[in-house]
Copies of this chain bind each other. A is one copy, B any other.
Amino acid sequence: MTFTQILPLTDISRADACSTPPTRAATSPEHADALAHSLKALADPARLRIISIVSAHANQEACVCDLTDQLTLSQPTISHHLKVLVEAGFVSRVKRGTWSYYSLVPGSLGSVAGVLSAI
C-alpha cells in the first residue's frame, strides 16, 4: 500500500491549501481560442444590429442598402463589419446583379449560445 492509496490523490497533487479540487477538466486553450474568436465577431453593436436587421427580413436576407439606411455608419465601415461576420460564419453573401444580399447562416447563433451555456 502506497501513500497515494491512503491519501486522496487530490490532496497530494496540489500544494495550495486555499483551494478545493476541480470536479472536471476545464476547457482546453484551443477550445477557448475558437470560442473567443466567434464571440469577438459578435461583440460589436454594429454587427449585432446587422444580424438583427438581416434576421428581421422576411426571407432572412437583406442588401447592403438596408443596412446603410438604418445604421449611421459609412458604407466601407458596414462592408468591413459584414466581412467580419462572413468570415466568422454567421452570415453568408450572395450577389445578384449589382446588389449583394446577406443572410443568416442557420444555426450559427444557436451553436454559440449552446456552447456558452455548456461551459
Question: Contact at A62–B109, with CB atoms within 8 Å?
Answer: no
When chains A and B are docked, how far (Å) is the Cα of A36 from the Cα of B22? 31
- Asked if A58 CB lies within 8 Å of chain B CBs, one says yes
Question: Contact at A18–B99, with CB atoms within 8 Å?
Answer: yes
Residues of B within 8 A of A44 (CB): 36
Question: Contact at A45–B20, with CB atoms within 8 Å?
Answer: no
CB distance from A14 to the nearest CB of B (A): 8
When chains A and B are docked, how far (Å) is the Cα of A20 from the Cα of B36? 34
CB distance from A65 to the nearest CB of B (A): 5
Residues of B within 8 A of A45 (CB): 29, 32-33, 36
Question: Contact at B26–A49, with CB atoms within 8 Å?
Answer: yes
Question: Contact at B20–A59, with CB atoms within 8 Å?
Answer: yes
When chains A and B are docked, how far (Å) is the Cα of A37 from the Cα of B59? 29
For residue A40, which residue of chain B has the nearest CB? B43
Question: Contact at B65–A21, with CB atoms within 8 Å?
Answer: no
Tell which of B27, B33, B52, B70 touches A119, judged by Cβ atoms closer than 8 Å: B52
- Asked if A35 CB lies within 8 Å of chain B CBs, one says yes
Question: Contact at B109–A70, with CB atoms within 8 Å?
Answer: no
When chains A and B are docked, how far (Å) is the Cα of A112 from the Cα of B26? 20
